[in-house]
Structure 1
Amino acid sequence: MASKLLQLQSKAAQASQLVAKHGCTYYKQLLEKNHQYIQNPPSIEKCNELSKQLFYTRLASLPARYESFWKELDSVKQLWKNKGDLKVEDAGIAALFGIELFAWFCVGEIVGRGFTITGYHV
């Protein structure tokens, strides 16, 4: 256990050295690359305005998303009605999608329990 702690400390020290060495350069490059998105002068009022624009833009997109959801649901209903015409490939894709959803659920449960498999904290 102590050796793993030392390894972890060593890796953390290496990572912090890497960030200290290249962090400023990366930060400057990131800002230069995305300068068109930066509002000058930066102010609280501008930030509040932009957050309101984002919120109300997302709110305005809800009817289109709602309509798209019902179209998708109708297409699934049509597939279910015509399940006799379903190809093996389509069924395989649906099964893989279901397995992937279940796997993400399991990962979420493990993360929610603090990265323990059984739920017991040691």
Structure 2
Amino acid sequence: MAARLHQLRSKAAQASEFVAKNGCAYYKELLEKNKQYIVQPPSVEKCQELSKQLFYTRLASIPGRYESFWKEIDGLRHIWRNKKDLKVEEASIAALFGLELYAWSCVGEIVGRGFTFTGYYV
């Protein structure tokens, strides 16, 4: 256990050294590549304006997402009506997808409780 801790510390030190040497250059390169997305001059007012634009753009996209949702529901209804024609592969994929959703829900509950299985800190 002590050997692993020493190994972990040395790798963390190497990573820290790498970031210290190359972090500034990476930052400058990243800003240079994406300078078309940087608003000049940076100001609080411009940030507020951009956040409002994002909010109302998302709000305006709701009708399209609503239509897409109901198309998906109609597709599921069609599959359910014609379940006799359903292949084993399609049914197994749907079952695996449902199982994955259930597993993510369980993981979310565990994380929400602070990584405890009973809900209480022991």
The TM tier, using the shorter chain, reads: 0.7 to 0.9
Moved segments of 4+, more than 3 Å = 1-18, 116-122
Equivalence map 1:77-92=2 (5 Å) = 77-92=77-92
Pick closer, same or farther for the CA change 1:15–1:121 going to 2, 3 Å.
farther
Corresponding pairs, count: 122
Pick closer, same or farther for the CA change 1:75–1:112 going to 2, 3 Å.
same
- Residue 104 of structure 1 is matched in structure 2 by 104
Q: Cα offset for 1:55? A: 0.5
User: Equivalents in 2 of 1:63, 1:48: separation in Å?
Assistant: 25
Q: Cα offset for 1:116? A: 3.5
- Residue 17 of structure 1 is matched in structure 2 by 17
Give the aligned residue type for 1:25: A
User: Equivalents in 2 of 1:99, 1:19: separation in Å?
Assistant: 40
State, as a whole percentage, how many aligned pairs show the same letter.
Answer: 75
Pick closer, same or farther for the CA change 1:10–1:112 going to 2, 3 Å.
farther
TM-score by length of 2: 0.82
In structure 2, the gaps of 5 or more residues are none
Q: Cα offset for 1:11? A: 5.3
- Residue 34 of structure 2 is matched in structure 1 by 34
- Residue 67 of structure 2 is matched in structure 1 by 67
Q: Cα offset for 1:118? A: 4.6
User: Equivalents in 1 of 2:16, 2:115: separation in Å?
Assistant: 24
Give the aligned residue type for 1:52: K
User: Equivalents in 2 of 1:3, 1:114: separation in Å?
Assistant: 29
For 1:24, what is the secondary structure of its paired residue?
A: helix
Q: Cα offset for 1:89? A: 1.2
Deviations 1:2-61 (A, max 9, x none): 888777666554443333232212211211111110001111111111111111000000
Q: Bigger shift: 40-49 or 16-25?
A: 16-25
